[in-house]
């Protein structure tokens, strides 16, 4: 069965770190679905590696063509989406697809794929710790930081709709918990 592993979390909760860890220790079973976005690349990001960076017109054209499995306007004017071509390529390799997506995108994928998908909500120990992490990351200017914190509070309200919630407090424990969750899910017929 073609399977999907969905990780969603408020920005700064550590989902990218967890997903990268899982991909490194389970590379024979998992592959990452590179999302498309209209946001600008951050320093060090490469097109096709972290994201497929598209301009707004290209993104909208792909929506019309039905090229997206799911897509969402995550922030005003900034769209993210999952391309069908990415998913099919990974399934053709006999691997489960791993997603690092926003909350709405994750729930859309779960609704679409049901038991084929494991939806994991990764949450920070507290909003205060999340704010601290986002501030240390320094990839946003102040108004963007405030926007992300407001969005994080909103996103936390969706955690009960996920198959499981993992609190990312101690990273080694989070890694071990997520490895077991994913391994058990992949092993299920």
pLDDT per residue as tens, the chain (189 positions):
799 999 999 877 888 899 999 999 999 999 998 999 999 999 999 999 989 999 999 999 999 999 999 898 887 889 999 899 999 999 999 999 999 888 888 998 999 999 999 999 999 887 777 777 677 765 556 667 777 778 888 888 999 999 999 999 899 999 999 999 999 999 998
The confidence score (pLDDT) of residue 126 equals: 78
The pLDDT of residue 4 is: 96
The predicted pLDDT at position 118 comes to: 98
Give the separation between CA 115 and CA 146, rounded to whole angstroms.
36
Around Cβ 180, how many Cβ atoms within 10 Å? 10
62-85: b (≥16 Cβ within 10 Å) or e: beeeebbbbbbebbeeebbbbbee
Q: Among all chains, which residue has been given the structure tokens 């592993």?
A: 5
pLDDT for the residue 188: 93
CA-CA distance, 58 to 122, in Å (whole number)?
31
Task: Give the whole-angstrom CA distance, residue 63 versus residue 141.
Answer: 30
List the domain boundaries for the chain: 4-187
Measured between alpha carbons, how far is 157 from 8 in angstroms, rounded to an integer? 12
CATH number, span 4-187: 3.40.50.300
């Amino acid at each position: 069965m073609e399977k999907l592993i969905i990780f969603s979390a408020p920005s700064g909760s550590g989902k990218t770190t967890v997903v990268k860890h899982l991909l490194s220790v389970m590379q024979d079973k998992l592959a990452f679905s590179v999302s498309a976005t209209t946001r600008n690349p951050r320093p060090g990001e490469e097109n096709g590696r972290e994201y497929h960076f598209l301009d707004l017109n290209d993104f909208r054209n792909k929506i019309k063509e039905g090229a997206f499995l799911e897509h969402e306007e995550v922030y005003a004017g900034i769209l993210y989406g999952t391309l069908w071509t990415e998913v099919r390529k990974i399934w053709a390799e006999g691997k489960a697809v791993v997603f690092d997506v926003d909350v709405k995108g994750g729930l859309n994928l779960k609704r679409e794929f049901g038991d084929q998908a494991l939806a994991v909500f990764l949450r920070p120990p507290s909003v205060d710790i999340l704010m601290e992490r986002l501030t240390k990351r320094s990839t946003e200017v102040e108004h963007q930081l405030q926007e992300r914190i407001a969005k994080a509070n909103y996103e936390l309200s969706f955690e009960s709709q996920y198959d499981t919630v993992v609190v990312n407090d101690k990273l080694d424990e989070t890694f071990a918990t997520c490895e077991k969750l994913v391994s058990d899910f992949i092993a299920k017929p």
